[in-house]
Amino acid sequence: QVQLVESGGGLVQAGGSLSLSCAASGQPFSNYNVAWFRQAPGKEHEFVAAIKWSGGFTNYVDSVKGRFTISRDNAKNTVYLQMNSLEPEDTAVYYCAAGHRSWGWPGTHYNYWGQGTQVTVSS
């Protein structure tokens, strides 16, 4: 079992920045691929970014490329999402998810999820 806790959400003006953190416990985090997803009111769950267990590979949805950066510190069992140049369309609840490295990359099955953190971008 892996427990995930997100933090760092909040209210920011358009053009501003936020940094989200996902802290893990329960299993060695270095064995897990980790992703960020988001869900805006009335919209589908959306993949945002992912990072391989080793930290050597990342993926991003096109709408955040060049603005968001995912990174990880396995020694601290934490994954980060640095969000710059935020837009009102980025407003959503952001979820951290983890899937064991045995699922492969890409195409990891994310079966552990955090509770989410709200990000609100005002125009």
Contact 99, 29 (CB under 8 A): no
**What six digits make up the tokens of 73?**
């510190």
Residues 6-44: tens digit of each pLDDT: 999 999 999 999 999 999 999 888 999 999 999 999 999
Averaged pLDDT, 51-67: 95
Q: In which band, very low, low, confident or very high, does the pLDDT at 86 lie, cut at 50, 70 and 90?
A: very high
What size, in residues, is the chain?
Answer: 123
Helix then strand then coil, % of the chain, to nearest 5: 10, 50, 35
**What six digits make up the tokens of 69?**
């950066």
Q: In which band, very low, low, confident or very high, does the pLDDT at 122 lie, cut at 50, 70 and 90?
A: very high
pLDDT at position 104: 84
Contact 99, 112 (CB under 8 A): yes
Contact 117, 39 (CB under 8 A): no
| 49 burial type by CB count under 10 A (0-12 exposed, 13-18 middle, 19+ buried) | buried
pLDDT at position 28: 86
Q: DSSP class of residue 38?
A: E
pLDDT at position 64: 98
